[in-house]
């Protein structure tokens, strides 16, 4: 496959905007409720678009919308298919990605099990308890799963020396027996155990591999979405975004120090030739 030049940040953002515009129309047509999330929501609130040095997009939706989205897109083979562990048996991330098949993306340090294009991360919002001790216990179990997923996906796990290298080789043997999807499947089971508790009906969280105890929001906020300017588009966000971002980032209106204004993802992307 012949590749063209590596896309720069502006070109990458243009691809993402086309993709999210397509997804927004698809979601509206099919009654899928979603919101901008994480750094994308922060960008909408503070910059009316992308954080200048950011290079990705995050969306979130309630579990029931997430599962309906997977059913609707299970057999989608157009330009923007959905990758998800529930759909793709070799895909290793524990959340979904909408990808642009007219692009190729190669991560420098990770291998997710399937070919990637430029993508938008889509996270399910699962029921969460307001009991901080129990949340910490759940986080510990999820962190264990996330560590295993990171090892399986890492391209650099064998650059260590001594005991760490021996441990990496032992883990290789383990995953050769149980399969690379073992950790992802275990995390999905843990998530189901957590969100199946009907009494957890006040809060929801995106239980990502970087799950933080502050990353929960009130379920009712998903019932009150408001249009927000994002570059030339209008995309939905939480009506209580100020409260959510303050809990997550603190003083989110203040720019970080200049030395921290850098992208946090290591990848290169091309348009298919």
pTM over 0.85: yes
Domains identified in the chain and CATH numbers: 3-126+204-272 (3.30.460)
Q: Is the dihedral of CA 6, 11, 14, 20 positive or negative?
A: positive
Identify the residue whose tokens are 């999210």. Answer: 20
Give the span between the Cα atoms of 27 and 186, in whole angstroms. 29
Dist. CA 192–CA 196, nearest whole Å? 6
Residue 1 pLDDT exceeds 50: no
Which is more confidently placed, 273 or 211? 273
SS3 content of the chain, % helix, strand, coil (to 5): 40, 20, 35
pLDDT tens-place string over residues 217-260:
888 888 889 999 999 999 999 999 999 899 888 899 999 999 88
* Model confidence pLDDT, tens digit, residues 148-207: 888 888 876 656 666 667 777 777 777 777 778 988 898 888 888 877 765 677 888 887
Tokens encoding 86: 């529930």
SS (H, E, C) 187-232: HHHHHHHHHCCCCCCCEEECCCCCCCCCCEEEHHHHHCEEEEEECC
What pLDDT is stored for residue 214 in this prediction? 58
């Amino acid at each position: 496959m012949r590749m063209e030049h590596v896309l720069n940040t502006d070109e990458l953002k243009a691809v993402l905007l086309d993709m999210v515009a397509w997804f927004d129309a698809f979601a509206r047509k099919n009654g899928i409720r979603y919101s901008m999330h994480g750094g994308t929501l922060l960008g909408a609130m503070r910059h009316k678009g992308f954080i200048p040095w950011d290079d990705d997009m995050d969306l979130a939706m309630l579990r029931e919308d997430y599962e309906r989205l997977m059913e609707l897109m299970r057999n989608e083979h157009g330009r923007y298919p959905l990758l998800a562990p529930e759909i793709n048996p070799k895909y290793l991330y524990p959340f979904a990605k909408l990808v642009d098949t007219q692009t190729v993306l190669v991560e420098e340090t990770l291998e997710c099990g399937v070919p990637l294009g430029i993508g938008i991360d889509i996270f399910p919002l699962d029921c969460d308890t307001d009991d901080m001790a129990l949340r910490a216990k759940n986080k510990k179990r999820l962190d264990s799963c996330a560590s295993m997923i990171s090892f399986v996906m890492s391209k650099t796990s064998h650059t260590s020396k001594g005991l760490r290298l021996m441990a990496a080789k032992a883990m290789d043997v383990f995953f050769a027996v149980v399969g690379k999807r073992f950790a992802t499947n275990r995390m999905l089971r843990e998530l189901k155990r957590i969100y199946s508790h009907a009494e957890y009906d006040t809060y929801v969280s995106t239980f990502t591999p970087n799950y933080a105890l502050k990353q929960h929001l009130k379920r009712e906020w998903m019932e009150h979405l408001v249009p927000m300017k994002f570059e030339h588009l209008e995309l939905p966000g939480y009506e209580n975004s100020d409260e959510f971002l303050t809990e997550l980032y603190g003083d989110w209106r203040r720019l970080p120090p200049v030395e921290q204004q850098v992208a946090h993802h290591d990848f290169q992307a091309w348009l298919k030739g």
